[in-house]
């Protein structure tokens, strides 16, 4: 927990920031969950100069902007430095573990990792809620919008609903321990900006009413440990229809997941990764196999893994103390 970090004195800190799935089908832009497995490692060093520098970008993705204002980690650090009157500056090295344009919260992870690492180099304690606006400022550089559905769970862990961003009002929702999340990433890049451009400006009142009922029922199912209710509710009636065509074979893969026993299956964030919530590891294995087979019928190679919804978000993994 960020709140529990001791204050003071570390000069260089490395943070692991996990991948995450935005929207979780029912809560476009407001609901998201942390994932176990891939993530970004972000190292921040204090500088005496009042500036922010990107020192290096390595790992699965290297072709990212190095101008701080155009880089999600850089922009997040600029926001933290300017808004919190930090003396001196920061240099950041990013080791990307999350593929670009995958729908797995890669831009959010770099932004979150940067502010959590920077906070650990500063004196005092910083709560996740204090850091959230700065991570959001970083995420906005990539997608063009401030949306918290990846940033909040990456920062705080677990399944998180953001009711309001200014000031942040975030709600951690319990996830039944039997839930396993299958993730199947087709070998395609789809930027969040591109996937957002496909969406209509307006939705109908009747669709909005139905989706609100599904979100409410989903959250109630999580609190009641009621997997049948979660299974009835885990649907995206508003956004998915506009994005399905961006992923080759989407409908076949989704059908295959549901026939194999998934509680629900939709796009992870803006896609193209698909996620499916399942009851237990046995169902998850069967659903993963069905989804990869369906993608292969469309000649789409995939990368897969099965995750829980870990309660821990971004965390310090290495720190050098100067004192
Ligand atoms: N909620 C956003 C979207 C980002 O669907 O466009 C998800 O990663």
Does the beta carbon of 270 lie inside 6 Å of ligand 1? yes
Report long-range pairs for 125-131 (Cβ below 8 Å, ≥24 apart): 125/2, 125/3, 125/5, 125/6, 125/7, 126/2, 126/5, 127/2, 127/3, 128/1, 128/2, 128/3, 128/155, 128/156, 128/313, 129/167, 129/168, 129/170, 131/2, 131/80, 131/155
Domains parsed from the chain with CATH numbers: 5-172+310-320 (3.30.230.10), 179-307 (3.30.70.890)
In this prediction, residue 322 carries a pLDDT of 55
Structure tokens belonging to residue 267: 């796009």
**Ligand 1 midpoint to CA 293 (Å):** 26
Atom of ligand 1 nearest to the CA of 199: 6
Pocket test for ligand 1, best of 20, 28, 104 (most atoms within 8 A of CB): 28
Please state whether beta strands 89-96 and 52-59 pair in parallel, antiparallel, or not at all (unpaired): parallel
Pocket test for ligand 1, best of 27, 33, 99, 147 (most atoms within 8 A of CB): 147
Task: Name the CA dihedral angle for 123, 128, 132, 134, rounded to a multiple of 10 degrees.
Answer: 10
Write the residue with the smallest CA distance to atom 3 of ligand 1: 270
**249 in the Ramachandran plot: left (φ > 0), alpha (ψ -120 to 50) or beta?**
left
How confident is the chain (323 residues) per 10-residue block, as mean pLDDT? 43 96 98 97 95 96 94 97 90 96 96 97 88 95 89 98 93 98 96 94 97 98 98 98 97 98 98 98 97 97 97 94 57
**Ligand 1 midpoint to CA 25 (Å):** 10
In this prediction, residue 4 carries a pLDDT of 35
Does the beta carbon of 243 lie inside 6 Å of ligand 1? no
Atom of ligand 1 nearest to the CA of 149: 1
Cβ(152)–Cβ(211) under 8 Å? no
Q: What is the pTM of this model?
A: 0.94
Cβ(164)–Cβ(106) under 8 Å? no
Does the beta carbon of 269 lie inside 6 Å of ligand 1? yes
In this prediction, residue 251 carries a pLDDT of 98
């Amino acid at each position: 927990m960020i709140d529990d970090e001791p204050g003071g004195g570390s000069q260089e800190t490395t943070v692991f920031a996990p991948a995450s799935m935005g929207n979780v089908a029912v809560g476009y832009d407001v609901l998201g969950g942390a994932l176990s497995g891939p993530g970004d490692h972000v190292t921040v060093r204090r500088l005496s100069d009042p500036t922010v520098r990107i020192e290096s970008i390595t790992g699965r993705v290297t072709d990212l902007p190095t101008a701080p204002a155009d880089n999600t980690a850089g922009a997040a650090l600029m926001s933290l430095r300017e808004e919190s009157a930090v003396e001196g500056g920061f240099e950041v090295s990013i080791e990307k573990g999350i593929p670009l344009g995958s729908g797995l919260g890669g831009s959010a992870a770099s932004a979150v990792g940067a502010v959590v690492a920077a906070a650990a180099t500063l004196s005092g304690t910083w709560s996740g809620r204090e850091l959230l606006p700065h991570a959001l400022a970083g995420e906005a550089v990539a997608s063009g919008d401030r949306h918290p559905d990846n940033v909040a769970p990456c920062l705080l862990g677990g399944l998180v609903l953001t009711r309001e961003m200014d000031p942040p009002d975030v709600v951690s929702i319990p996830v039944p321990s039997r839930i396993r999340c299958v993730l199947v990433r087709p070998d395609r890049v789809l930027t969040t900006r591109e996937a957002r451009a496909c969406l209509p400006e307006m939705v109908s009142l009747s669709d909005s009413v139905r989706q609100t009922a599904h979100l409410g029922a989903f959250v109630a199912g999580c609190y009641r440990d009621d997997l049948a209710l979660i299974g009835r509710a885990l649907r995206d009636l508003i956004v998915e229809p506009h994005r399905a065509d961006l992923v080759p074979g989407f409908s076949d893969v989704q059908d295959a997941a549901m026939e194999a026993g998934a509680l629900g299956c939709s796009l992870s964030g803006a896609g193209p990764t698909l996620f499916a919530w399942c009851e237990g590891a046995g169902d998850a294995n069967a659903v993963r196999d069905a989804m990869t087979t369906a993608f292969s019928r469309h000649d789409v190679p995939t990368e897969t893994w099965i995750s829980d919804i870990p309660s821990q978000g971004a965390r310090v993994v290495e720190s050098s103390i100067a004192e």
